[in-house]
Structure 1
Amino acid sequence: MFGTRRTTIFFATDIHGSERCFMKFINSAKFYGANVLILGGDITGKALIPIVRDGHSSRYRATFLGERVTLESEEALAAFERQVRHAGAYPFRTTVEELAALESDRTLVDRLFTRLMVESVQRWCELAEERLRGSGVRCFIDAGNDDEPEIVEVLKQASYVEMPEGQVVLIDDEHEMVSAGFANLTPWHAPRDIPDEELGRFIESMAGQLQHPERAIFNVHVPPYGSGLDTAPQLDEQLKPVVVGGEIATGPVGSKAVRAMIERFQPLVSLHGHVHESRAVSKIGRTTCINPGSEYGDGHLRAALVTLKGPKLLSYQLITG
């Protein structure tokens, strides 16, 4: 017998360091009445923003989004740092001498980037615990293909946030979840890109353990190939968009292995991200596949609200907040 309990999932992905989007993600549990939160990968940012001290004064200067700013108080500095974090970048205070050293040594930059990413994700995990502990809401956060291996370890060590990748997780009394944040190989050689065949084997190693695949959830970062959830600009060898007839050519960039796993196991719902511009819902057999897309740079959190009950997908809705 199936239970009568409904499970409402709030799923978002690809926030790329945006603290504004992360706070919206955490607050969505109360706002939408969700009892399961899933953040599906690519959670870290892509840019460092130096805030350079002006000589021996207390004044700092920085450039952000093409605008040069002068910051003359601790209040102004803190407000600027919040603005940068909300947009998905990492601010750091420095001196002219330290900045010159960074510019001449890529290793120093990489170390700084990793440290700031780790500190940011640690702070997010603490915020999630502070806001959600005692609420009965479960919070799953996975690393995506753009996230460094160090981020995986931070998530695994969190005391409240759950890192679901690599195991079958029972999210409630009836629904199992399989998670994979890796992606098939991309032109950017991201940290967690792997061959498509390897991705398929990784998913199969979990999906093969499912007790009830027909009620399962796939939380797989890369969308299935040719599903309409994976349409992106085609790129040439210089990674520039291909233009045909005056328009940018597009095509599928998803994973054939992911599609094969969905076709084989036919989970109830399959949640994806990775391709920001391909916000869509499609069916593969009986499986409803969803990519809510991403607009993290503008502070907009695109997401999917999914309600399950036993063997049924009662409803789904693409939302932007």
Structure 2
Amino acid sequence: MKIISFGDIHEDTSNLVKIKSDLETADLIVVSGDLTNCHGKAETKKVLDAVKKYNKHLLVQYGNMDKPEVDGYLAKEGINLHGNGYMFGDIGIFGCGGSSPTPFHTPSEISEADIERFLTNGYNKIKDAKWKVMVCHTPPRDTATDIVRSGMHVGSQTVRDFIIKYKPHVCISGHIHESRAKDKIGDTVVLNAGMFRDGWYIEVVIDKGNLSAALKSVA
């Protein structure tokens, strides 16, 4: 199974054409959050329609920069990853959107307790999967994926603790644009591709008992 993932699109889909081959050959496209710039359903639909030109197999969750109505819209479309889990053979994918509280009071911030609840809800739906892929818009604290320009770590301790406890094979995150990186917590690979218009995305391939997870560039 080949999964292509990106997030922090913020309504700029211009790089999609540059990864046309990867999009068209993927078994699943995962959008990890922040489709819009503080907008709702109409702008979200435009982004999804742009992705669907290349691949209609999507799982999507809202980010902190999307209005709360986006969560309901994705649920009605049957593609919502937030607080949910999906099985694809022996592969399970689960997620949590929004973000932990920020100083900027963005549209869709949730508490650390809510993050734990939504991750647990999703995980319980895929807990028997051989391979577990976690998609959390907020990155785990104290990794290379959660560092702002000042050098401070601003990720979620709850997300980190969840990874340590449940040991998913991969954690796809985003949210912190300047913290594009690949890191590990124990055996869990943690990736943040940064903002999509900067030209980076994630590829996860699970094939014949092996898993690989990498950051890729449009260049």
Q: Same fold (TM over 0.5)?
A: yes
Q: What is the identity, as a one-letter code, of the residue corresponding to 1:158?
A: E
1:204 to 89, 100, 120: 120
Q: SS at 2:135's partner residue?
A: strand
Report deviation, 1:167: 1.5
Aligned to 1:173: 89
2:166 maps to 1:265: yes
Letter in 1 for 2:160: R
2:139 to 223, 230, 238: 223
Give 1:174-193 correspondences, 5 Å limit. 174-193=90-109
2:34 is the counterpart of 1:36: no
Determine if contact 1:42/1:146 at 8 Å carries over to the other structure: yes
Give the 3 Å change call, closer, same or farther, for CA 131–198 of structure 1 in structure 2: closer
For 1:155, the equivalent position in structure 2 comes to 74
**Aligned in 2, Cα 1:164/1:26: closer, same or farther, shift over 3 Å?**
farther
> 1:132 corresponds to which letter in structure 2?
N
Contact 1:216–1:267 (8 Å) recurs in 2: yes
> Match of 2:178?
277
CA distance in 1, matches of 2:104, 2:126: 33
Once the two structures are TM-superposed, the CA of residue 140 in structure 1 deviates from its matched residue by 1.4
**Range with bigger deviation, 182-191 or 270-279:** 182-191
Mapping 1:307-318, distance limit 5 Å: 307-309=205-207, 312-313=210-211, 315-318=212-215
Provide closer, same or farther for how the CA distance between residues 266 and 311 of structure 1 changes in structure 2, counting only shifts above 3 A: farther
Q: Is residue 12–residue 301 contact of structure 1 (8 Å, CA) maintained in 2?
A: no
Which deviates the most, 10-19 or 204-213? Answer: 204-213
Determine the structure 1 residue equivalent to 2:2.
Answer: 8
Give me the CA root mean square deviation.
2.2
- 1:17-96 aligned at under 5 Å gives the runs 17-21=11-15, 28-30=22-24, 33-45=25-37
> Which residue is equivalent to 2:45?
122
| Contact map agreement 1:183 1:221 (CA 8 A) in 2 | yes
Query: 1: distance between equivalents of 2:65 and 2:118?
Result: 18
1:128–1:304 Cα change, 3 Å? closer
Question: 2:128, 2:208 → 1: CA distance?
Answer: 11
**Distance change >3 Å, CA 13–CA 25, structure 1 → 2:** farther
Please, what TM-score do these two structures have when normalized by structure 2? Answer: 0.88
Q: Check the 8 A contact 1:215/1:311 in 2, yes or no.
A: no
Deviation at 1:187, TM superposition (A): 0.4
Structure 1 residues without counterparts, runs of 5 or longer:
1-6, 47-113, 234-248
Cα deviation, 1:270-292, whole Å, max 9, x if unaligned, reads: 10000111111111111111111
Aligned to 1:105: none
Q: Quick one: distance in 2 between partners of 1:148 and 1:279?
A: 24
| 8 Å Cα contact 1:269-1:288 kept in structure 2 | yes
Structure 2 CA distance for aligned equivalents of residues 175 and 310 of structure 1? 12
> C-alpha displacement at 1:119, in angstroms?
2.1
**Which blocks of at least 5 consecutive residues in structure 2 are unaligned?**
none
- The alpha-carbon deviation at position 132 of structure 1 amounts to 3.1
DSSP 3-state at the match of 2:119: helix
* Number of equivalent positions: 218
State the percentage of identical aligned residues: 24
